[in-house]
Amino acid sequence: METSEVIRLRYEELLFFAACVCNCWGVCLCVCVCLEGRVCRRGGRAGMRLGSSLRWQLSRAMRLALRWCRPLRGGRGGESKPWIRGRCLDLWKYSRLLLKSLYFNTLNNSDTLLDCAFEPVYWIVDNVTRWFGVVFVTLVILLTTSVVVIVYLFVLPVILSTYPVYWIVWHLCCGHWLLIMVVFHYYKATTTSPGHPPKDKLNIPSVSICKKCIAPKPARTHHCSICNTCVLKMDHHCPWLNNCVGHFNHRYFFSFCLYMTLGCIYCSVSSKDLFLEAYSAIERYYQTPPPTEAYTETTAHKSVIFLWVLTSSVAVALGGLTLWHMILISRGETSVERHINNKEIRRLREQGKVFRNPYHHGNVNNWKILLGVEKGSHWFTRVLLPSSHLPTVDGIMWDYIFNRRDPMAI
């Protein structure tokens, strides 16, 4: 007696096979209805004979198909059971081969199916982010301008009239320095290209081929689906900049986050007393009878409350983002590389190995590479003052710090 083989199927194959069977039954039903309609329109005895013949043939085909799908039962004396099972197994193998030739390959899995199912969602998100980037940039400009106007109209006059001279000088210098740094770095981050692999050169050093651009992809380069191009040392696509954060504007982006956080903390601390007074005045508005105050006073109170709430919220949210990027910079990683390295760490840990980041040159050296500091005076001229200097590396060739015995992912 022949031994029966065990059929192991993945649920993706069963899903596609069920869909194909349902489609076949639907096509047969449609053909039957169409033929019956044509026969009835002919009329007469010949038409009835033809319709009966067609219905008989279709019913016979359905009976044969149901006989194949019927649960297997042994024949007389148990002799036909292995033979029927072998025929069903051959038919099933042939059906699987037919389906695989149409849709299946060895790289398909559940992730591939989910990507295909969510591809329209990804397309919508990419296009919405691309078009709403202009809205986000406009929103940043309007909110920053409103904060500056409120400070000049309501906060600075109080400082000039009540504070000592040395505090006035400190506020004027610190406030305007932070304003200049924020405006400069935001402008440079939005208008500077993050850097792209050269398309006119074919001999550039690369580690892979981009599946979207069909072009060589250097190390630390990733494809941005929103910009639809590869970006050198891509960190992420920032909708608040309407631009990718890459090799040539990473320093501008981080400096903007840092100085914007410091500026929001400065405005929040400087307007704390005015906020408490304005909040107490707003509470008095709901008394009976309400106090009689001028329109300019109520406007000043509401403006100060708006200033304090906005700057405090942005300081907390943007401060957390800035701290996260400080950790990544200290490790010599980008946001994309952080996810890739985490997967590589888990994969090598299962093999009993240790992962080393080839782009980690030490905490201080990582900061020097990002900020472009080559000597001591650059900490003042290139970090504390506006500077448009380019990075020290071109974003295509990178220095690797590793040992050949150490496992790593490049």
Q: Is there a contact between 94 and 17 (Cβ–Cβ < 8 Å)?
A: no
**CA–CA distance, 172 with 159 (Å, rounded to integer):** 10
What 3-state DSSP class applies to 65?
helix
Can the peptide bond before residue 289 be classed as cis, meaning omega within 30 degrees of 0? yes
The answer to whether residues 332 and 361 touch, using CB atoms and an 8 Å cutoff, is yes
**Distances 9 to 16, 71, 87 between C-alpha atoms, Å:** 11, 18, 18
Could you give the CA distance from residue 258 to residue 241 in angstroms, rounded to a whole number?
A: 15
Q: Where are the beta strands (DSSP E) in 232-382?
A: 236-238, 243-245
Catalytic residues, by residue number, are 238
| CB contact at 8 A, 129 and 239 | yes
Q: What are the Cα distances from residue 193, in Å, to 137, 159, 244, 278?
A: 16, 40, 8, 44
Instruction: List, in order, residues 6 or more apart from 393 with CB less than 8 Å away.
Output: 369, 399
Three-state secondary-structure class, residue 385: coil
CA distance 378 to 391: 13
Sign for the pseudo-dihedral over CA of 310, 316, 322, 324? negative
Alpha helices in 151-198 (DSSP H): 156-162, 165-191
* Tokens standing for residue 194: 């993050």
Structure tokens at 289: 């009878």
Q: Which residue do the tokens 């996260």 mark?
A: 324
The tokens for 114 are 């989910």
